[in-house]
C-alpha cells in the first residue's frame, strides 16, 4: 500500500494539533452507521466462510484436534498481525484501509476457492495430507486480513461519533456482530450440509465482492493525517506500547479484557464439536444462530442504555458472569441448556468489547488509537489460541477418552452427569471457574482503581 499525496503526512507536527480529539462532522453518526453496515456485511461473509470450514472439517472427520488447531491458528495470526494492522490504521485514511483489506481478503478467498476445485474436496479432507493444511491456512489468511477492517472501524467511532454517544455506538457494533453471527451460523451449517463446501465458497466470494462494490462510493471525512513523533517500523510495537503506557492503567484494561478470552479460547476448541455431537451439523448451525440472537440483544441494550458511569467495572463483572455461565451450560448433556447458556454468554460479550473500546476512545489520542487497538487485539487474541492449542490436544487425547471409561464416568458423573460428551463438559466447567475467579480478583487490584480514575479524569467538559 502506498500513500497518496492526500494521505502523506509531514514528518513532524505540533502536539497540540495532532493530539486534539477530532470534532465529529455534521451527520457523523449517520456516516458511521453506513460504515458499520458495510463492515458488518464484509464480516458476515468472512465469518460465513470461516464457520463453514470448521463445520465441514468436523462433520467429515470428527477430529477435535484438527478444528482446535485451526481455530487456535486463526487467533494466533490475528495476534501476530494486530500491531501491524494498528500501525496501518494510524498511517492511512480509514476508507483506504477498508478498501485495501476487502480487496486483499477477496483475492485470497478467490485463490483458495480455485485451489479447492483444482485439488478436490475428498483429497483436501485428509489431515495427513498437505492439501488439507494449505486450504485451511489460506482460508485463515483471508479471515485474518479482514480483521484489519475491525481495527479501522473502532477508530471511525472516535472520528465520527461524539464522546457522549460512543458507548452506544460501540453497542451497535456488538449488535451488528450478533446479526453476523446469527446469519453466518445458520447459513454456514445449511450451506455445508446441503450444498457442500464448493458452492459455499462460490457464495462467499460473490457476497464479499458485493460489499466491495458498496464500499467504494461511501464517504468518510477525515482531516490530514499528522504524526507527533518520528515514524517507527511497519510493526510499531514500540509506538503501541508507548501509547498504552501513556494512559495510567490502560495496560491493566487490556489484560482485564483478555480475561474474557481465557474462557472463549477454550470454547473455540470445543464448542462446535460439542454442538455438532448433540445436534448434528445442520441443526447446530441453526441452534447456534438462536444463541447468537443474544449478541443482538446485548448490543441493543448497550446502544440504548450505555455502560454506566464506570465501563471498567462493567467489563469485569460481565467477564465473571461469562465464566459462571460457561461453567454451568454443559453441566448436563441437555441441548436446551447449552443453547441457553451460549445465548447468555453472547448477550454479555458486547459489553466487554464495548467497555474496552469506549475507554480507549476517550483516554488515547486519536492519532495513536490504531496502534493501541492493535496492541490490545494482540494481547487478547493471543490468549485465545494459547488456550485453544493447549486444550484441543488435551481434550482429544486425554480428557474425552478418559471420561468415556468406566472410571471416568464414576468419578465425575455426580458433577457433569452422564453422556458421550462429558469430557468436553468437564473442560467447560474448569475454564469457566478460572475465568470467574480471575475477573472477580481483578476488581480489588490497584490497577482497576487507576484506570477507572483515568477514565473519569479525561471526561470532556460540557459547556
For residue 437, what is the domain's CATH number?
A: 1.20.1250.20
Burial (CB count <10 Å: 0-12, 13-18, 19+), residue 26: exposed
**Contact (Cβ atoms closer than 8 angstroms) between residue 293 and residue 88:** no
From the list 364, 380, 377, 159, the residue with the least C-alpha distance to 243 is 364
Q: Which domain holds residue 264?
A: 20-221+241-457
What is the number of domains present in the chain? 1
Q: Which of the residue ranges 26-40, 108-122, 137-151, 252-266 would you say has the lowest mean pLDDT?
A: 252-266
**Contact (Cβ atoms closer than 8 angstroms) between residue 68 and residue 270:** yes
Mean pLDDT value of segment 437-446: 89
Q: What is the pLDDT of residues 104-125, one digit of tens each?
A: 999 999 999 999 999 887 888 7
Query: Which residues 6+ apart lie within 8 Å of 107 measured at CB?
Result: none
The residue behind cell 494459547 is: 386
Give percent helix, percent strand, percent coil of the chain, each to the nearest 5.
80, 0, 20
Instruction: Decide if 231 is inside a domain.
Output: no
| Range picked from 1-5, 202-206, 299-303, 455-459 for highest mean pLDDT | 202-206
Instruction: Decide if 210 is inside a domain.
Output: yes
Secondary structure of 266-322 in the HEC alphabet? HHHHHHHHHHHHHHCHHHHHHHHHHHHHHHHHHHHHHHHHCCCCCHHHHHHHHHHHH
From the list 294, 259, 28, 372, the residue with the least C-alpha distance to 166 is 28
More confident residue, 388 or 416: 416
Instruction: Decide if 29 is inside a domain.
Output: yes
Instruction: Decide if 126 is inside a domain.
Output: yes
Q: What is the pLDDT of residues 164-196, one digit of tens each?
A: 888 888 888 877 776 776 677 677 877 887 888
- Grid coordinates given for 234: 511497519
| Range picked from 157-161, 251-255, 368-372 for highest mean pLDDT | 157-161
SS3 assignment, position 334: coil
SS3 assignment, position 237: helix
Per-residue pLDDT band at 344 (split at 50, 70, 90): very high
Alpha-carbon gap, residue 329 to 323, rounded angstroms: 10
Instruction: Decide if 320 is inside a domain.
Output: yes
Instruction: Decide if 269 is inside a domain.
Output: yes
SS3 assignment, position 336: helix
SS3 assignment, position 135: helix
- Grid coordinates given for 252: 491493566
Mean pLDDT value of segment 332-357: 89
Angle at Cα 269 formed by Cα 265 and Cα 273, nearest 5°?
145
Instruction: Decide if 13 is inside a domain.
Output: no
Instruction: Decide if 81 is inside a domain.
Output: yes
Mean pLDDT value of segment 334-341: 92
Asked whether residue 315 carries a pLDDT value surpassing 50, the answer given is yes
- The DSSP-derived string for 376-421 is HHHHHHHHHHHHHHHHHHHIIIIIHHHHTSHHHHHHHHHHH-SSTT
**Contact (Cβ atoms closer than 8 angstroms) between residue 263 and residue 55:** no
User: What mean pLDDT value characterizes the chain?
Assistant: 79
Q: Which of the residue ranges 32-46, 242-256, 340-354 would you say has the lowest mean pLDDT?
A: 242-256
**Contact (Cβ atoms closer than 8 angstroms) between residue 370 and residue 87:** yes
**Contact (Cβ atoms closer than 8 angstroms) between residue 371 and residue 236:** yes
Q: How long a stretch of residues is the chain? A: 463
Alpha-carbon gap, residue 320 to 352, rounded angstroms: 11
- Grid coordinates given for 390: 493447549
Amino acid at each position: 500500500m502506498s500513500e497518496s499525496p492526500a494521505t502523506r503526512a509531514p514528518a513532524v507536527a505540533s502536539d497540540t494539533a495532532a493530539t486534539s480529539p477530532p470534532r465529529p462532522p455534521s451527520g457523523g453518526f449517520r456516516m458511521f452507521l453506513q460504515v458499520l453496515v458495510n463492515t458488518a456485511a464484509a464480516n458476515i461473509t468472512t465469518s460465513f466462510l470461516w464457520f463453514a470450514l470448521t463445520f465441514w472439517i468436523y462433520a467429515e472427520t470428527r477430529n477435535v484436534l484438527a478444528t482446535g488447531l485451526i481455530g487456535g491458528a486463526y487467533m494466533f495470526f490475528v495476534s501476530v498481525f494486530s500491531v501491524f494492522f494498528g500501525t496501518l490504521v494510524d498511517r492511512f485514511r480509514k476508507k483506504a484501509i477498508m478498501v485495501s483489506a476487502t480487496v486483499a481478503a477477496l483475492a485470497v478467498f478467490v485463490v483458495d476457492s480455485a485451489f479447492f476445485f483444482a485439488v478436490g474436496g475428498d483429497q483436501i479432507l485428509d489431515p495427513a495430507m498437505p492439501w488439507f493444511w494449505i486450504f485451511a491456512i489460506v482460508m485463515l489468511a483471508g479471515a485474518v486480513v479482514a480483521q484489519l477492517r475491525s481495527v479501522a472501524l473502532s477508530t471511525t467511532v472516535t472520528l465520527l461519533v461524539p464522546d457522549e454517544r460512543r458507548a452506544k455506538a460501540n453497542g451497535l457494533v456488538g449488535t451488528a456482530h450478533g446479526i453476523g453471527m446469527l446469519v453466518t451460523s445458520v447459513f454456514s451449517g445449511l450451506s455445508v450440509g446441503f450444498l457442500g463446501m464448493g458452492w459455499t465458497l462460490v457464495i462467499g466470494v460473490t457476497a464479499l465482492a458485493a460489499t466491495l462494490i458498496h464500499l467504494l462510493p461511501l464517504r468518510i471525512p477525515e482531516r490530514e493525517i499528522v504524526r507527533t513523533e518520528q515514524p517507527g517500523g511497519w510493526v510499531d510495537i514500540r509506538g503501541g506500547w508507548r501509547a498504552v503506557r501513556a494512559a495510567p492503567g490502560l495496560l491493566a484494561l487490556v489484560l482485564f479484557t483478555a480475561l474474557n478470552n481465557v474462557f472463549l479460547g477454550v470454547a473455540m476448541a470445543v464448542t462446535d464439536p460439542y454442538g455438532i455431537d448433540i445436534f448434528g451439523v445442520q441443526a447446530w448451525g441453526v441452534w447456534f444462530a438462536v444463541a447468537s440472537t443474544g449478541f443482538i440483544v446485548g448490543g441493543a441494550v448497550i446502544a440504548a442504555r450505555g455502560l454506566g458511569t464506570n465501563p471498567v467495572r462493567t467489563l469485569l463483572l460481565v467477564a465473571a458472569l461469562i465464566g459462571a455461565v460457561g461453567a454451568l451450560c454443559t453441566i448436563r448433556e441437555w441441548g436446551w441448556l447449552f443453547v441457553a447458556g451460549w445465548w447468555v454468554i453472547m448477550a454479555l460479550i458486547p459489553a466487554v468489547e464495548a467497555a474496552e473500546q469506549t475507554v480507549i476512545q476517550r483516554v488515547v489520542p486519536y492519532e495513536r488509537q490504531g496502534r493501541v487497538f492493535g496492541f490490545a487485539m494482540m494481547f487478547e487474541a493471543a490468549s485465545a489460541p494459547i488456550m485453544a492449542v493447549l486444550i484441543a490436544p488435551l481434550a482429544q487425547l486425554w480428557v474425552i477418552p478418559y471420561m468415556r471409561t468406566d472410571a471416568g464416568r464414576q468419578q465425575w458423573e455426580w458433577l457433569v452427569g452422564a453422556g458421550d460428551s462429558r469430557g468436553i463438559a468437564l473442560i467447560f466447567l474448569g475454564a469457566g471457574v478460572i475465568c470467574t475467579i480471575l475477573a472477580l480478583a481483578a476488581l480489588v487490584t490497584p490497577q482497576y482503581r487507576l484506570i477507572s480514575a483515568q477514565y473519569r479524569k479525561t471526561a470532556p467538559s460540557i459547556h
